[in-house]
Chain A
Amino acid sequence: MSPFSPTETKPLFLRGPSLGTRMVLLAVLSVLLMFLDHQHGHLETVRRALAVAVYPIRVLVDLPSALVGWTAEHFSERSRLVAENRELRTENLRQRARLQQMASMEAENDRLRALMRSPAKVADRVQVAEILSVDLDPYRHRIALNRGAHDDVFVGQALLDADGVVGQVTRVDPIGAEAILISDPSHATPVELNRNGLRTVAIGTGDVSRMDLPFLPNSADIRVGDLLVSSGLGEAFPAGYPVARVTRVQRRPGDPFARVEAEPTAALNREREVLLVWLGSDVAQAETAP
């Protein structure tokens, strides 16, 4: 049994370079591409052009799960929808009650900041972006979004969800963007302890339910259950958003640093939508730019 068609007639004379030469040429070209892309990021225009061509594939792959969501929305029972609606209304009421307080507290905060002569915090602008259900790489925590340069998304922009910080944008195409999650092993988030303002860095582990805080001395005042919020240092994330909750503190007398682990508060692998945040200064920049 020979599953393949017979070899096509071989030309008498070989035209063009041989197979080995072509392979070597392509390998050299690949290595050159990798070098330029990794060392200098010179290839952003090439990548952007290709990304536009590739975007339909991402949307196509996303289609089945989008369809499942759509049918679940349109064919769910009326009673369930009513219950959901009622629940949302109660929650909305609760949130608005808290927001009333927030207005007065913001004013008070501004007054206090003015007294201390520190610049007042400008309100952030947010926009909802959808995560395309596309698996990029099992060994890296990256996601694809459906908003791009067209919607003023920029590299380094912070992503939030309802419960905390999700990640930041790493690459922007005209109609889509890619983002890195805070749980990626190559990502570090500047954080501070909500309880006492102790500042440190939370590093991703490659596990969506765990982050490491490797730079805390044994004597640091930290306990299980402490909330870590973004510190705003490093200019990537807006200050004061929850990042993770401490799940384990192990003080090791023999080592200079304690072993501290935390669990991200955001639902990193269960979300379908995230919020893109424009900080106060970015909003001002965008408004003055055109």
Chain B
Amino acid sequence: MSAVAAPRVWPYLVCVLVALSLEVTPLPGGMTGWRPPWLALVVVYWAVAHPRRYGLGPAWLAGLVLDVLKGGILGQHALATAVAGWLALRFHQRLRLFPIWQQTVAVGAIIGVQQFLVFWVDGITGDAALSWQRAAPVLAAAIIWPLAAPLLDRLRGRLHTI
């Protein structure tokens, strides 16, 4: 009962912090376009794992911090991350029952929407470069998800953060 009364928040915070750091870690030259949207992936993961605890508010706030971190326009990643979280919350029951490959496809679609929003805001505010490279983060996310999600499940099981 006490575990329910005082839920552990730090695994979520650590995940978000690591994701924020990975979002700005320098990658080798040609890889910069291939950076997976770590924060959105983390938000989607926790939205599916704990839909009642980590809702839209934390996702939006984390996105706002990412905006400041990246030095972009305030609200861009906040909106995109919140939308990714919303889609994940909306379909969390279905996402849980999917086998991993189907889950990957669904998460890829969510990340696609998220990336499109980022690109859209870039376009409205002036400097958008349309190239096939814009799809690279979605592919990267689809590669990362089947590796990262089971790993996080294992960690979460070890930590008993039900």
Contact = CB atoms under 8 A, between A and B. Distances in A.
Interface residues of B, number: 56
B17 A57 contact: yes
Contact of A138 (B33, B56, B60): B33
Contacts of B128: 139
B21 A50 contact: no
Interface string A161-173: 0000000001100
Interface string A64-103: 0100000000000000000000000000000000000000
Contacts of B90: 19
B125 interface: yes
Interface stretch (A3-11, A121-129, A188-196, A235-243): A3-11
Contacts of A46: 74
B27 A135 contact: yes
Given A3-B150, A23-B83, A33-B78, A138 B52 contact: no
Interface in A29-80: 29-34, 36-38, 43, 46-47, 50-51, 53-54, 57-58, 60-61, 65
A104 interface: no
Contacts, number: 136
A57 B74 contact: no
B96 A2 contact: yes
A1 B103 CA distance: 12
B25 A61 contact: yes
Nearest to A27: B79
Given A34-B121, A144-B71, A178-B71, A134 B26 contact: yes
Contacts of A186: 126-127
Contacts of B57: 22, 26
Nearest to A5: B162
A137 B69 contact: no
Interface of A: 1-5, 7-8, 19, 22-23, 26-27, 29-34, 36-38, 43, 46-47, 50-51, 53-54, 57-58, 60-61, 65, 133-140, 142, 144, 170-171, 178, 185-186, 206
Given A61-B25, A171-B71, 5 more contacts: A7-B96, A27-B82, A30-B75, A30-B78, A61-B21
21 contacts: A2-B97, A8-B51, A22-B57, A26-B56, A26-B82, A29-B75, A37-B73, A38-B125, A50-B65, A57-B17, A57-B21, A61-B24, A136-B24, A136-B70, A136-B72, A137-B72, A139-B122, A170-B71, A185-B127, A186-B126, A186-B127
